[in-house]
Structure 1
Amino acid sequence: MFSFIQLQADTLTNAASGVVVENIAANNEISVLEFIFKGGFFLIPIAILLFYTFYLIIERYLYISKFSKIDARLLGDVRDSLNSGNLDMARSIAERSDSASGNVIREGILAVGRPIAEIESNMDRAADIEIAQMETHLGHLGLIAGIAPTLGFVGTISGVIKIFYSISVTENISIGNISGGLYEKMISSGAGLIVGIIAYSGYHLLNGRIDNFALKIQKQVLEFVNIIQKK
């Protein structure tokens, strides 16, 4: 009889303990937004860098996609106009393409009649200008890739300094006090690394598209020069 009563008491105790643990766990749950805000002041500049990074990536991607298009029929139409001696038509065809390659070919058309070396030089300079316009503000992404993780690290270090200062004042060196402060301050490091990875990836992906365009435009310059030489 005593054993039965003891068993019932243990069961009730375990059940009550389970309820308490569940209530504590429920009370300790926080939303993702609340968790992020625990990162401290340095999350503000990191968030600003994140939005600017997305803006740069989207804006540059749209610009590069629009102006780096290579129209396979453009050189053929220009060749037909040049062979017929109609330079004005060839120039208007290049201008209508509304692309970087069209602008480069237009420079070559405007130089028709000059030495081949001069025509090629003019087209190369025009290509360099178009590439430079595509690369506008891309350096900012490279800068953010280095700054954002550094800001996050500085935020963590400043938080750790505050924790140890608090310990020196209150002499409270409990694990809960230290670990609670550390996980909050390391949020800024994680956020900075994420922003840095996004900026670094966007920088190299966009530069890859520009390099691809540079290769294609050089091929078009050579084709245009060959067309002029065959006239």
Structure 2
Amino acid sequence: MLLQIASEESLETISVLELLLNGGYMMIPIVLLWIVAVYIFVERLLLIKSASKTPDDFQNQIRAKVLEGDVKSARELCMQTDTPVARMVEKGISRIGSELKNIEVSIENIGKIEIYRLEKNLSSLATISGAAPMIGFLGTVTGMIQAFIAIAQEEGAVSPKLLSSGIYEAMVTTAAGLFVGILAYLGYNYLVSRVSKLVHRMEYTAIDFVDLLQEPQK
């Protein structure tokens, strides 16, 4: 009973910070990857949220102004709306009078640029989701090697405490790497889904605008 209480007290004294410090030098790249992953996720999330704030009646206003022949007001409305959808429409409006094919190409080119901006650094987040667990496993392997070296150098009977402490310290890097990798993976997939939703809206807007140009103006 006394041994059990003493064991529980010793476990309670081990904080998360102490566990991370016991992980060894391999914890340094894992922590750095965690910081980079959090930065990328927050920065991309804020940008995607801002890019998605196109007013619901934006297309209706553009349609009304273009059909009335008020191209200047339609273009000014696009400039006042700082979103990828508005920039695509603004480019199309600026090309009114050209061949329809040229207008479509101009809108498509702007769309590609906007998609590149939205997807920037997402590949880095995907890389972190795979690299962090691998670094964690590497830290575990090196930690286990050091633990067995210490056991080999121990004279006489090997202390269970020496063996268990070396193993749990080595496993800390695996746990930390998996933690960072899983969160980075979830964050990556969430951002990709948000970008895909926005890209679909951009494509719909582009198609709707090209159809609008083929309607007779008032």
Deviation at 1:170, TM superposition (A): 1.7
Matches for 1:151-230 after TM superposition, within 5 Å: 151-171=135-155, 172-230=157-215
Relative to structure 1, is the Cα distance of residues 160 and 126 closer, same or farther in structure 2, using a 3 angstrom cutoff?
same
Contact 1:69 1:101 in 2 (8 A): no
What SS class does the counterpart of residue 54 from structure 1 fall into? helix
User: Considering only aligned residues, what root-mean-square deviation do their CA atoms show, in Å?
Assistant: 1.6
What is the TM-score of this pair, normalised by structure 1?
0.87
Letter in 2 for 1:114: S
Contact 2:54 2:81 in 1 (8 A): no
Letter in 1 for 2:170: K
Deviation at 1:23, TM superposition (A): 3.8
Deviation at 1:228, TM superposition (A): 0.5
Q: Share of identical aligned residues, percent?
A: 32
Q: Which residue of 1 aligns with 2:87?
A: 103
Letter in 1 for 2:133: P
Aligned length: 214
What is the TM-score of this pair, normalised by structure 2?
0.92
Larger radius of gyration: 1
Q: Say which of 32, 49, 57 aligns to 1:65.
A: 49
Deviates more, 1:176-185 or 1:153-162: 176-185
Q: Which residue of 1 aligns with 2:126?
A: 142
Gaps of 5+ in 1: 1-17
Q: Which residue of 2 aligns with 1:80?
A: 64
Q: Which residue of 2 aligns with 1:4?
A: none
Deviation at 1:20, TM superposition (A): 5.5
Q: RCO higher in 1 or 2 (8 Å CA, sep ≥ 6)?
A: 2
Q: Deviations over 1:159-191 (max 9, x none)?
A: 111111112222453433222211111010010
Deviation at 1:217, TM superposition (A): 1.0
Letter in 1 for 2:21: F
Q: Deviations over 1:111-157 (max 9, x none)?
A: 11112121111111111111110111111101111111111111111
Q: Distance in 2 between the 1:206 and 1:123 partners?
A: 24
Q: Say which of 16, 32, 35 aligns to 2:19.
A: 35
